[in-house]
Copies of this chain bind each other. A is one copy, B any other.
Amino acid sequence: MDFTIDPQVAALRDRVRGFIDGVVIPNEPNVEPHGYPAPERLRSLRDAAKGAGLFAPHVGMEFGGLGLDVRAQTVVFEEAGRSLFGPLALNCSAPDEGNMHLLEKVANAAQKEQYLRPLAAGEIRSCFAMTEKAPGAGSDPSMLQTRAVRRGNRWVIDGDKWFITGADGAAFTICMARTGEKIDRADGATMFLVDAGAPGLTIDRETPSLDHFAIGGHCEMHFRGVEVGDDAILGEVGKGYVYAQVRLGPARLTHCMRWLGVAVRAQEVAVAYALERTSFGRTLAEHGAVQTMLADNAIDIEAARQLTRYAAWVLDSGGAGRAETSTAKVFVAEATGRVVDRALQICGSSGVAGTRPLERFYREIRAFRIYDGPSEVHRMALAERIVRNARAARA
């Protein structure tokens, strides 16, 4: 049991912190209608990150990244997350980051060259199309309605996806479609790589939304007789939900890491405000009610960090980490939400108004309790696992 951060990782962390403080945060606009860096600004931030040797930290070196394992990602992504623009600058933001991971694990060599290489280089964006509106696949994947049917040597995809983050402007989509009659965790669905502009594919951007989350917004995607060949199949036919787990386990954790950075920053903002602002003859930092909130923030942040790192270690050790990533996801989503809420409360009207990052954080972080499995579904899954284990231990 050793919580020491590898010295190389610690050095990288310090450089990321310097980069975020020195380069990224000064580029955070106070006022931006869409909430994301304009293309030129993004390009210049990414060039700076590349120049600093901080780009694509999670991607294998073969594809131009830093090749960090999951534990090292916990350290580096947290730092990057202190600005909402940080993960974009380092090209480790959702959904691209999860898609790179998935492609690295599952795609064949040609697919890697075609999709992973430019994605890792920050030349293109991507999206991941699984969720559907009621009565389709939401929390319950067996309700998947989008269907891919074999016709000759082609597959024809029909269906409607919803809340697909980053779809507007993505160069390609990883689309989950039903290819078998019955769907379960092990069989029945397949992932397809679909290029933007494929005939029959249309995209509607969802506006407004509480969060902006990522360049490209949340979108509806309509597949109407979209045709792809066998070369579009990611991995094997029928194994879509197996790969979804390959993607979702680490993707849950990388969300945790980035949002943890947001929580750390929110606390920094609140501490700075509490030191400045005076009320009833004392600084806010001397009021017991504010002290309680600052301390609770620190406790939530530390617990969130340790749960994330523990789960990362399980993944690095080769475990599937189902319980550990669910535990981290529920706790971190709720804890970081509480931290941002308390930070905003401490800052009062200054927190509500747009001159500080808190109102943006408050809107962005809310959906984390919902996507990649709502807290309620993770709790149900955890409970079922607990009960299953208890039953097994008895037998």
Contact = CB atoms under 8 A, between A and B. Distances in A.
Contacts of A354: 206-210
Contacts of A290: 288, 376, 383
Contacts of A344: 210, 366
Contacts of A278: 134-135, 140, 143
Interface in A249-288: 268, 271-272, 274-281, 285, 287-288
A76 interface: no
B380 A291 contact: yes
Interface residues of A, number: 95
A278 to B, nearest CB: 6
Interface stretch (A36-44, A171-179, A294-302): A294-302
A386 B271 contact: yes
A180 interface: no
A285 B387 contact: yes
B349 A71 contact: no
Contacts of A33: 208
Dominant secondary structure of chain A at its interface with chain B = helix
Contacts of A1: 2-6, 71, 309, 312-313
Nearest to A376: B289
Given A291-B288, A348-B370, A275 B382 contact: no
Given A354-B207, A359-B208, A313 B31 contact: no
Contact of A294 (B275, B276, B330, B383): B383
Given A309-B1, A352-B366, A287 B285 contact: no
Given A279-B140, A366-B362, A383-B295, A209 B352 contact: yes
A292 B295 contact: no
A255 B380 CA distance: 31
Indicate the member of A33, A313, A330, A353 with the most B CB atoms within 10 Å.
A353
Interface of A: 1-6, 31, 33, 71, 131, 133-135, 138-140, 143, 162-163, 206-211, 218, 268, 271-272, 274-281, 285, 287-292, 294-296, 298-299, 302-303, 306-307, 309-310, 312-314, 317, 323-324, 327, 330-331, 344-345, 348-355, 359, 362-363, 366-367, 369-371, 374-376, 378-380, 382-384, 386-387, 390-391
Which 10 pairs of residues, A with B, have the shortest CB-CB distance? A288-B288, A291-B383, A295-B379, A306-B306, A210-B359, A295-B382, A208-B354, A289-B376, A163-B349, A294-B383
Given A140-B280, A289-B376, 13 more contacts: A1-B4, A1-B6, A3-B310, A135-B277, A163-B349, A218-B349, A288-B289, A288-B290, A292-B376, A302-B310, A306-B309, A344-B366, A349-B371
